[in-house]
Structure 1
Amino acid sequence: MDRIRIRGGNKLNGVINISGAKNAALPLMIIPMLTADTVTLHNVPRLADVRQLQRILQNHGVDIMTAGKRAGAAENAGETLKISAKSIVDTTAPYELVSKMRASFWVLGPLMGRMGEAKVSLPGGCAIGTRPVDLLLLAMEKLGAEMVIEQGYVIAKAKKGLKGGHIFFPKVSVGATHVALMAAVLAHGDTTIENAATEPEITDVAECLVKMGAKIEGIGTRNLNITGVTSLHGAEHTVVADRIETGTYAMLAGMAGGDVTLRGARADTLADVILTLQRAGLEITTNNEGMRVKRNGSGILPVDVTTDPYPGFPTDLQAQFMGLMTMAKGKSHIRETIFENRFMHVQELARFGADIRVNGNMAEVHGVQKLTGADVMATDLRASVSLVIAALAAEGETMLHRVYHLDRGFEDLEGKLSAVGADVTRISGA
């Protein structure tokens, strides 16, 4: 199993290329199941999760080809995938595949929209609990699907096709909004979605669906109106820049110090994060290349944050921000309101010498003057990067274990950091 060794103390200077957004690429890879035509996606990040979803989609008969680089494409551009679902050969998504990637449950939407039937395993084998799928099922019911849950599977049917309906989400859900959109575009009649998620990744998916012939109004707002069409066609789309990766590298630069340009970053998708980091003492400006992040010698200032649905502070940057606050000049508070059990990184940060006290969904971070390198273990995709942030400022050497979590969501992290001066090395094997 691979490990990453980090020797702290180096400032970061130079350019980091921002990849396409993982949280947009995954649903964008699923929506071609709605058409028999080919959908071409550009700027797809090279991630373990992308590879896994390719295998899952192929189980349904989806053909995916990795195309060569486009003429004139930037050196840092992601992959181009040509995705064709000319024939859906299997409407079952088995547990052994869904259990490996939660987003694969979203195939329920296009399978029902196009085929009128689906048998999809519940993620982890249960419907209710952490990150439940109850809102996704609510959306399908409002569109006329008849569903039963048997032996850990959702078995859904709509013999005459889905019908437009009114969907109100009692709380904002990215996954439920994705599934509702995928299902509604081919439903008979009109659909309204109230309290929809407004994340840039939702907007990216909706814009791609429009290119494919879908009729969607209200994109980027809490209320979406969809007029169902009889069929969709092929399209070409470029995945939006990853705002989570952008925020992560901004915090890495802030922790280590230096002057870094995040090429391709979309500052308009990170307004709340940028304001928060500026309050913490980082200098952030936008330019033609993307975003420039600097931190002078004055140190990091403590800032309180609460995670919220977009456009609030994203839960996917909570762990990274906690890593940044471990060396702030004072006390900060971080309140997590989206997911439970998302403070698992606290114990690992403590191994560096961080002073963090957790009470329920609130973490109180007391900044320390010095962190010391340690052996640490990644616990999930986002938490693992908080350990990299601490390691870049820690004295001595850090060994990060279980880095497959990093590979799921961050493309070539060690390569990008090494290019701007960090002492980061991947060690292959046990």
Structure 2
Amino acid sequence: MIETYIKKTKNLSFLLSYSGGLDSTFLFFKLLRIKDNNPKLKFRAIHINHQLNKNSGKWSKHCYDVCKKHNIPLIIKKIKVKENKIGIEASARLERYKKIYEQVFQKEIILTAHNLNDQCETFLLALKRGSGITGLSGIPYESKLFGKQLIVRPLLKTPRSKIENWIKKNNVNWIEDESNYDVKHDRNFIRHKILPLLTKRWPSFIKNCAKSSFILKKEKKILDPILKNNLDKYLILSSILDIENFEKLLPDTIYSLLRTWIKSNSYIIPSHKVVKKIYYEIILSKKDSKAKIKIGDYEVKRYKSNLHLIKIIPCIKNLIIMWYKPMISLKLPHNLGCITQNKFGTILPLPKPNELINIRFQTSGKILIQGNSMRKPIKKIWQDHGIAPWNRNKIPLLFYNNELISALGVFVVSKKKCHTNIKEWKLSWIQNKY
């Protein structure tokens, strides 16, 4: 329960994911009661409007009214959920977590209200999909959201019946989402059609499902470092895998490596079918293969002897970004990072007063770069530096007016080579990890 967790933790700043439904309402009022007895505890709430239900605006209003009444800061954010191959529920969850991650303070712990029944349902859904140890491990009690922010699920050992009884006993109002009874959704089908039969026959079924998940989670904890150490042998960068010597490995070993690699970079757990497809259609293909496999917002492609996991972004090759205040870091679009001045950057000539600094993502023609004795087509320069075709239009190109100065982090144009009589500055492209 939440009381036990709070007694153990030193951090008493929380951000509650508050839908207004049964579980998050229970957790909200539990936090309120603890807060009354412990003034050091601070919590905010965040409500995500998925805009998937005609009543979603009323639900936001309900959450606003409850938080206002109890003087709890509330953030309300809208998201657009697109149905794709991972399904509407998974897509909604991913977008919701992205929005929560944007709003959480660094020192806050995110709280969600998943309960024991949710754990059992997740286990059965994973079983239905034919998942391995990762999927069957279910929902973790603690995890890092996008590998960074701590998220805790303090109700994970609490059965839904106990939550319902508390809500009724204390006469607390909460939102009933009628779509939770629509059995066309797999989770609802399990909740309303399957689990009642199973628990009637075996009253401890829900608890024992969670117990199995817990055992598998412990085994996974032992296996993960072994897989990580094995994966590190083949990593060039976190999103680039050297597959030159994969022929020496058993297919099952490769499947595990691929699953670990994809999950560590995208936080998506690919199915066995997907990793098998990557193996047969890409890894076993020729080095110049143009095959690609889409996984959520990512693609897996091959370039020579390397496997790349690429975040899909809109085409930006015609984009021009003016940098009027170079003393302030320039944030690039689509999570490509930022350009900033620092002592570790590439040495470049300062622009003249009449030269406008701008960033582009495409150029053409032959270029003479530092270290070369003759001009080369830009395509050949990219090839010489081992830049995969799909990454070339993501590298920021520094221009002064219409003159190319540098592909940041890759090359500097030779005609702008710095001399002692030219003022210099140092620029770095700081890339984000997707």
Structure with higher helix content: 2
TM-score (norm. length: structure 2): 0.31
TM-score normalised over the length of structure 1: 0.31
Q: Which has the higher contact order (CA 8 A, sep 6+)?
A: 1
